[in-house]
Amino acid sequence: MQTAPLVTGHPMSDTIARFAWLIPLLPLVGFALNGLLSLHAAAHPGPADPSGSDDDHDVAHAAPAAHDHDDAHQVARHPSAGLVSLIGPGVLALSFAMTLAVLYQFGIADQAMHEPYVLTLFQWMPAGKLSIDVAFQIDQLSLVMMSIVTGIGTLIHIFSVGYMRDDPGYPRYFAYLNLFIFFMLLLVMGANYPLMFVGWEGVGLCSYLLIGFWFSDKSNADAGKKAFIVNRIGDFGFLVAMFLMFANFGTLSFAGVESAAAIVPMGGALVTAICLFLFLGATGKSAQIPLFVWLPDAMAGPTPVSALIHAATMVTAGVYLIARSAVLFSMAPVAQLTVAVVGALTAVFAATIGLKQWDIKKVLAYSTVSQLGYMFVGVGVGAYSAGVFHLMTHAFFKALLFLGSGSVIYAMHKAYHATHSPEDAQDMRNMGGLRKRMPVTFVLMWIATFSIAGIPPFSGFFSKDEILGAVFARTHGSTLAEAQWLGIPGSLVLYGVYVLGLAAALMTAIYMTRLMLYTFHGPSRTGEKEATHLKEAPWIMTGPLVVLGVLSAVGGFANVPALYGGMGSQLLHSWLEPVLGRGTEISLGTEGVHLSHATEYLLIGVAIAIAVIGIVFAWLRLKPDALVPAKSAPVEEGLERTLLHKWYVDEAYARTVVQPTLGISRTLLWKGIDAGIIDGLLVNGSALLVRTVGWVGSQLQSGRVGTYAWVLLMGVLSVLSAFSFR
């Protein structure tokens, strides 16, 4: 609608950017090709799980050919695996190159692009005064997201070539992965909320498909369903927010909503409601309290999927949604405080659970939930660029951690496979001493650990510090500080968020050090026979790890605090300024927010001290030498058990939500309404009525002509008499 004039006049319209529609199209083509290849030779039996928990191990052996294998890993390679390995990562690499080209065009532009480049493809839903286009919005924010999605995506695709090589469902895997990238690009490139929602639902679908990739194991299929259903609750919020926006603003494009939001009353009920519903959507997709329960279960999928979807890209969609609606959120300080508080609580809560998990992927899953909480704290307090910055660095180091753990699991699985051991290849109690066997992974994982813990100069330090600094800075003078949240003054809430953030940072350092200690240090607990089979994964897997390692190490220099000055000072912040600047300014309030240099140095010192204390504490306290393998481990007691069982949140949800819903469905909806009223009364009842009337009518048909003649005569007489005596 309002996009047409922008296209013609925009300086980007005569550059390569006008072909930006190719960026999402390429993965879609890849999906189609790989999907067709997966149909070919689909006669293969059920999926085999290279990450191998006990049950999967048996499944892998169930194939008849599996019994006569030698020492090598059992190969069930798909016949067209070679072609798929070319198409899958290939289309992504092309997309990435294309994204970089567009990014370059933006970079060399003479003046900063203050208008987004909206590329309208066609009109999608013309309905009355609402008109929704299929249009891509290319601006600084979506370019950052596109680069992350295609860049990290390419690396993870390459890693998957090695990791999934021997899986019979290899083409299907890449088809899903390519489809995911397509929807994710739709999500970050869409120029209006409905198009974003299409991508939002699409990534949810791909997430479901990939979590349940090894669907022959019921627990995997259940995990997929759980993710899907929990996400639907969030989507309800997103939809309601869209309805509210349409009903009150009459438009759903980002540009339209932004200009409409600027004139609504500050902190009004309407804008607060819209923001809270949007945030409900974000809690579903980005696994925040109360809808975080699906993400740890989502680890049932292949590990590269966990890295791509459940760490680097899809789960950050909620953060992107809030950053995209920056002006809207800045007009609703109460909603912002809610976002920050929920984010901080999630960060701490998930970190406590991460402290006691034994499954290496579960630790990383809770770590992801916790770090996502950080991002929400960032975007929640109106430091949108800080949130996006952490999103970016987190994509680097968490993808590295997941792929590193994938590499470890791959090695462990091969070792256990070689000796036919039924042990769990993901349990850290079965690992230990891997630093000698897998030196490359070992070094890279430590880089990622330092990064996530916040040790300078690794990337996570800068982003986490910026979020915490932003929270502290906004405790005075900002619109948030002046608002009331459930009757509590905003500045007090922000201090609480800051303290929770520090607590989460401390625990992050502890659980990550614990993971590293138990996995790579100390003696090997894998078993003597198996230990000889442990070795580094092939280069096609470690290669992407090295790239991510470099990014994790230096990624933070994309946005060095202004405090230090220098070249890279606030690079990302000023890059995002045209998109996020207005929202940030609104929430900074009229007086503006300033911290003295001394305070900033103090905050940085505190953050570093917390990280170092965490690592040192874990290093001194935890004794990997004393740990015993999983099968002989003692049962946990007290708090440890509560943490291992994730504070019993799943059980509590089952009691309070799932069981009552099932109960109502069974007794009232099924037995009562469906079987009773609909089937009994309406369906069978109407049949009975027709039958009764038919039976009565049929009794009148005696078949005797005499009777009919009498009735006829009586009829004639009565009609005649009625006329006569009228």
Partner 1 sequence: MLAESLALSALLFTIGVIGVLTRRNAIILFMCVELMLNAVNLSFVALSKLHGVGGQVFVIFVMSVAAAEAAVGLAIIIAIFRHRQSVNLEDINLLKG
DSSP conformation class of 130: E
CB of 708 to partner 1, least distance (A): 10
Q: Distance (Å, rounded) from C-alpha 464 to C-alpha 344?
A: 13
The tokens describing 556, both together, are: 């933070």
Shortest distance (Å) from residue 715 CB to partner 1: 13
**What is the closest distance, in whole angstroms, from the C-beta atom of residue 712 to partner 1 in the complex?**
9
Our finding on whether 692 is near partner 1 (CB under 8 A) is no
Region binding partner 1 by CB under 8 A among candidate stretches 189-197, 483-491, 493-501, 695-703: 695-703
CB of 686 to partner 1, least distance (A): 22
Provide, rounded to whole angstroms, the least separation between the CB of residue 714 and partner 1: 11
Closer to partner 1 by CB, 597 or 704: give it: 704
Contact 133, 122 (CB under 8 A): yes
Q: Is 128 in the site for partner 1 (CB under 8 A)?
A: no
Among 700, 722, 723, 725, binds partner 1 (CB under 8 A): 700
Amino acid identity of residue 460, one-letter, is G
Q: How far is the CB of 722 from partner 1 (least distance, A)?
A: 19
698 forms part of the interface with partner 1 (CB under 8 A): yes
Question: For partner 1, which residue of 701, 723, 724, 725 counts as binding (CB under 8 A)?
Answer: 701
CB of 265 or CB of 697, closer to partner 1: 697
Q: CA-to-CA distance for 317 and 204, rounded, in angstroms?
A: 11
The nearest distance, CB 201 to partner 1, in angstroms, is: 59
Query: Which of these segments, 295-303, 460-468, 683-691, 694-702, binds partner 1 (CB under 8 A)?
Result: 694-702
Could you give the CA distance from residue 516 to residue 360 in angstroms, rounded to a whole number?
Answer: 10
Q: What angle do CA 464, 487, 467 make, to 5 degrees?
A: 5
Beta strands in 398-531 (DSSP E): 484-485, 488-489
Residues 549 to 568 in contact with partner 1, rule: CB under 8 A = none
- Judged by CB, which is closer to partner 1: 64, or 706? 706
Q: Which residues of 462-500 are buried (b: 16+ CB within 10 A; e: fewer)?
A: bbbbbbbbbbbbbbbbbbbbebebeeeebbebbebbbeb
- 3 state SS of 156: helix
Stretch that binds partner 1, among 173-181, 297-305, 549-557, 699-707 (CB under 8 A): 699-707
Partners of residue 569 on adjacent β-strands: 560
Write down the least CB distance from residue 718 to partner 1, Å.
15
Please identify, among the stretches 381-389, 415-423, 595-603, 697-705, the one whose residues bind partner 1 according to the rule CB under 8 A. 697-705
Q: Which stretch binds partner 1 (CB under 8 A): 154-162, 192-200, 237-245, 704-712?
A: 704-712
Amino acid, res. 552: S
Amino acid identity at 323: A
Q: How many residues bind partner 1 (CB under 8 A)?
A: 13
Considering only 661, 692, 702, 718, the residue that binds partner 1 (CB under 8 A) is 702
Chosen residue from 487, 699, 724, 726 binding partner 1 by CB under 8 A: 699
Distance between CA atoms of residues 370 and 287, nearest Å: 9
Decide whether 566 or 703 has the Cβ nearer to partner 1.
703
Shortest gap between Cβ of 703 and partner 1 (angstroms)?
Answer: 3
With tokens 């502890």, the residue in question is 510
Of 596 and 698, the one with the shorter C-beta distance to partner 1 is: 698
Decide whether 19 or 708 has the Cβ nearer to partner 1.
708
Rounded Cα gap, residues 88 and 83, in angstroms: 9
Q: Tokens 């070689």 belong to which residue?
A: 418
SS3 label, residue 53: coil
Distances (CA, A) of 422 to 59, 64, 303, 526: 12, 19, 20, 12
Contact of 148 with 313, CB cutoff 8 Å: yes
Bridge partners, residue 126, by sequence: 131
Judge whether 221 and 227 are in contact, CB under 8 Å.
no
CA 701, distance to chain mean position in Å, is: 72
Whether 75 contacts 60, CB under 8 Å: no
For residue 122, list its beta bridge partners. Answer: 134
Q: Which of 43, 697, 722, 726 binds partner 1 (CB under 8 A)?
A: 697
Residue 128 region by backbone torsions, left for phi larger than 0, else alpha for psi between -120 and 50, else beta:
left
Min dist. Cβ of residue 704 to partner 1 (A): 6
Residues 643-672 binding partner 1 (CB under 8 A) are none
**Between the CA of residue 512 and those of 624, 658, 708, what are the distances in Å?**
14, 33, 97
DSSP string, 125-146: EEETTEEEEEEEEESHHHHHHH
Q: Residue 632 burial by CB count (10 A; 0-12/13-18/19+): exposed, middle or buried?
A: exposed
Q: Taking contact as CB under 8 A, which single stretch among the options 48-56, 200-208, 674-682, 691-699 is the one that binds partner 1?
A: 691-699
**Of 487 and 697, which has the nearer Cβ to partner 1?**
697
* CB 685 to partner 1: min, Å: 24
CA 328 to CA 257: how far, in whole Å?
Answer: 8
Which CB sits closer to partner 1, 647 or 708?
708
- For residue 185, the one-letter residue type is L
Strands 488-489 and 130-138, sheet pairing? unpaired
Q: Mark 72-91 with x for binding to partner 1 (rule: CB under 8 A) and - for no binding.
A: --------------------
In whole angstroms, how close is the CB of 675 to partner 1 at the nearest point? Answer: 34
**What distance in Å separates the CA atoms of residue 579 and residue 116, rounded to the nearest whole number?**
8
In whole angstroms, how close is the CB of 42 to partner 1 at the nearest point?
A: 59
Cβ-based nearer residue to partner 1, 269 or 713: 713
Q: How far out from the chain centre does Cα 456 lie?
A: 28
Query: CB of residue 724 vs partner 1: minimum separation in angstroms?
Result: 15
Closer CB to partner 1, 39 or 709, in the complex:
709
d(CA 663, CA 625): 49
Residues 187-206, one symbol each (x = binds partner 1 by CB under 8 A, - = not), give --------------------
Task: Considering the complex, state which of residue 598 and residue 696 has its C-beta at the smaller distance from partner 1.
Answer: 696
Q: Which is closer to partner 1, CB of 114 or CB of 691?
A: 691
**Would you say 648 or 710 has its CB closer to partner 1?**
710
By CB under 8 A, is residue 596 in contact with partner 1? Answer: no
| Residue 723 beta carbon to partner 1: minimum distance, rounded to whole angstroms | 18
CA 609 – CA 634 distance, rounded (Å):
34
Looking at the Cβ atoms of 634 and 703, the one nearer to partner 1 is 703
Q: How far is the CB of 697 from partner 1 (least distance, A)?
A: 7
The stretch near partner 1 (CB under 8 A) out of 9-17, 299-307, 309-317, 698-706 is: 698-706
Site string for partner 1, 705-724 (x = CB under 8 A): xx--xx--x-----------
Q: How far is the CB of 689 from partner 1 (least distance, A)?
A: 18
Quote the CA–CA distance of 368 and 313 in Å, as a whole number: 11
Task: Tell the smallest beta-carbon distance from residue 705 to partner 1 (Å).
Answer: 5
Provide the token pair at 530: 């198996």
- Cα 111 from chain centroid? 35
Q: 10 Å Cβ neighbour count for 435?
A: 17
Q: Which is nearer to partner 1, 695 or 723 (CB)?
A: 695
Is the backbone peptide bond immediately before 290 cis, with ω within 30 degrees of 0?
A: yes
- Site for partner 1 (CB under 8 A): which residue of 5, 64, 265, 703? 703
Q: Specify the 3-state DSSP secondary structure of 266.
A: coil
Give the residue, chosen from 108, 704, 722, 723, that forms a contact with partner 1 under the rule CB under 8 A. 704
Q: Count Cα neighbours of 260 within 13 Å in the Cβ-side half-sphere.
A: 18
Binding site for partner 1 (CB under 8 A): 697-706, 709-710, 713
